Chains A and B, each alone.
Chain A
Amino acid sequence: MSEKAKNPGPISPVGSAVKARAEAKKAKATPDPVTGLTPVRKKSLWHRIPPSWRTPFAIVATIVAAAWIVIALIGPAIAPHNPLAQDMTPFQGPGAGHIFGTDELGRDVFSRVIAGARVSIGLAILLVCMSTTVGTILGTVAGFFGKWVDEVIMRFTDLVMAFPTVILAMVIAAALGPSLFNAVLAALVVSWPQYARTVRSMVLSLRGADFVSSGRLLGYGPIRSMRRDVLPNVVGPTLVLSSLDIGTSALLLSGLSFLGLGAKPPSPEWGSMISEAVKHFDKWWLGIFPGLALLTVVISFNFLGDALRDSFDPGTERE
């Protein structure tokens, strides 16, 4: 109605409004300056999201993971109680005052789970960043220099990968002494080799790519060739690997804490909370809530990584 009023044409206001709209549409769909092709229609916001992110799993995973990251960031602000305060009645079941109940020392489980997000997710991301960096540097060096440098680095990765991950991490953490810092260090030792191997094989295959050869023929030195031609093509797939690894890293660190090799008792950490809960099997709320927290973090970050991988996969990227 209002549009008709805006276009008072002498003959047919409706007709001119339609025409004006059609013209506006035409004006928007200008031919692409390079290809000369006219886009069929403007993509809606929803369709601009890569298809791999539009699956129900990916959507739920994104929401859950985002929620966890928010909780990790602003945790203390939303926790109803001090996670370390022991001023409540111990072993209260979940109820009005304490929705997740209280533990053996009278601490609020809900507040501890929320505070634990910062420790678990924060450390998992830190760990992934460190192992990605170490692995990428060593993998690039191995792939680029080859020969004995490659041999040495690759034999190190073989050595680490010959042991089961968790057991090796346990041994290293135990040897270093139980502390959260040492647990991260132990996890780093066992997790960099997978990055080093992947990056190395990518660097090796890229080194023989025609565009890298073209650069070399133009007089690129090794550093420029790496920086311009090789590394930018390694970053995407490596980030996918890293994001897939966040959930697993959270699990590994909590596992070490569960075994008493990581976070020390008063600090709210999901693994150590579960390990304390094992002593009181009948008080189900002590273990189930940190366990669920860990479960949702692992699953949501894995689905995120999958979606990220699919959107980097050339097969599914084009739409």
Chain B
Amino acid sequence: MTEPAKATGAEPILEVRDIVVDYPGHPPVRAVDGVSFELYPGEVVGLVGESGCGKSTMARVITGLLKPTKGEVLYRGEPLPPLTARRRSPKYTGIQMVFQDPSSSLNPRRRVGSQVEDGLQAARARAAYETEEGGVAVGAGVKELTASQWLQRIGLSAQAAGRYPQSFSGGQRQRIATARALAARPSLLVGDEPISALDASTQARVAGLMCQLALEQGTSLLFISHDLSIVRLIADRIIVMYAGRVVERGRTDQVWNDPRHPYTKALLGAIPAPDGSGRMPVATPTGTVYPRDEISH
């Protein structure tokens, strides 16, 4: 595991500060309750937690799709404007996301090749913008791939480009969505459970591939998952969320080998032992309430 770039004193690519999200209702649902963290260039951070703890909500906040009730999102040190009806400036198309639900992450009426092509086009538009601004585009030195080359890189055949999303399985669609997002050469990629539609044996492989492709072009990856055992394989750091809060964060080896928070311990306890005997998933028996205070390493 590489040292977090924090140690090298680099500017964080993303900073979220005290994010609070209330969904309207009677009473309003507080999905996220004061979450702060930062992400450094070239870093892979795993965001884990059980279903409903607010991971997807955080993903939407980070990409600007959802305006938080409180708190701020800083992208490259500047506040990120939430997405409105207007076209998003190429300045911010460096933030990409792979959505959780494979059935709606691709347009059913367009061939997947042209959807991946859109990613390439976004990359070109941003490169042009950044050159104009005098900066250097992310992955500027990396050779540009075509849409079908991207599809091949994520393990599909080149002919897949001519097909519609309906003819792919959920896991394949998530890989296509990943290809599209990566083709845009993002500085920051948020993957919202991009592997949850895959079987256990391919999960690790696809997560590894996604991580490798992201790092190749210098993309920081925020990898959201409920599965700590996969996240630990690719993440430099792990952030554990529970009921809308961060309860534990630290370097992957620290969190994995020496979990401090009772909730993290329970999450780790749910992972089957490699000898096949397996421990019963006792993780969060219904009714168990854990403290929501953060413990840091």
Across-interface contacts of B157 in A (CB, < 8 A):
33-34
Across-interface contacts of A145 in B (CB, < 8 A):
85
A residues bordering B, Cβ < 8 Å?
Answer: 33-35, 144-145, 209-211, 213-222, 228-229, 232-233
Q: Are B180 and A214 in contact (CB under 8 A)?
A: yes
Q: Are B90 and A219 in contact (CB under 8 A)?
A: yes
Our pick among B100, B108, B118, B159 for the contact of A215 (Cβ within 8 Å) is B118
Q: Are A214 and B105 in contact (CB under 8 A)?
A: yes
Our pick among A33, A34, A219, A228 for the contact of B93 (Cβ within 8 Å) is A219
A112 to chain B, nearest CB (A): 45
Q: Are B163 and A34 in contact (CB under 8 A)?
A: yes
Q: Are A222 and B85 in contact (CB under 8 A)?
A: yes
Across-interface contacts of A211 in B (CB, < 8 A):
104-107
User: Which of B96, B118, B121, B126 has the largest count of A CB atoms less than 10 A from its CB?
Assistant: B118
Q: Could you list 11 examples of A-B contacts with CB < 8 Å?
A: A33-B157, A210-B99, A213-B83, A214-B180, A217-B97, A218-B121, A220-B118, A221-B87, A222-B87, A229-B107, A233-B109
Our pick among A34, A210, A232 for the contact of B101 (Cβ within 8 Å) is A210
A210 to chain B, nearest CB (A): 4
Q: Are A233 and B108 in contact (CB under 8 A)?
A: yes
Question: How many B residues touch A, CB cutoff 8 Å?
Answer: 39
Q: Are B118 and A232 in contact (CB under 8 A)?
A: no
Complex Cα distance, B164 from A233, in Å, reads: 13
Our pick among B85, B99, B109, B119 for the contact of A218 (Cβ within 8 Å) is B119
Our pick among A209, A221, A228, A232 for the contact of B104 (Cβ within 8 Å) is A209
Q: Are A214 and B109 in contact (CB under 8 A)?
A: no
| A-B interface, 5 closest residue pairs, ranked by CB to CB distance from nearest | A221-B87, A210-B99, A232-B109, A218-B122, A210-B104
Complex Cα distance, B184 from A34, in Å, reads: 24
B262 to chain A, nearest CB (A): 34
Q: Does B282 contact A (CB under 8 A)?
A: no
Complex Cα distance, B93 from A209, in Å, reads: 19
> Which chain B residues (54-78) contact chain A, with CB distance < 8 Å?
63, 65
A146 to chain B, nearest CB (A): 8
B56 to chain A, nearest CB (A): 10
Identity of the chain A residue whose Cβ is nearest the Cβ of B90 in the assembled complex? A219
Q: Does B205 contact A (CB under 8 A)?
A: no
Besides the known contacts A213-B97, A216-B83, A218-B118, 17 further A-B residue pairs in the complex with CB atoms under 8 A apart? A33-B157, A145-B85, A210-B104, A210-B105, A211-B107, A214-B106, A214-B177, A216-B65, A219-B88, A219-B89, A219-B125, A221-B86, A221-B87, A228-B107, A228-B110, A232-B107, A233-B108
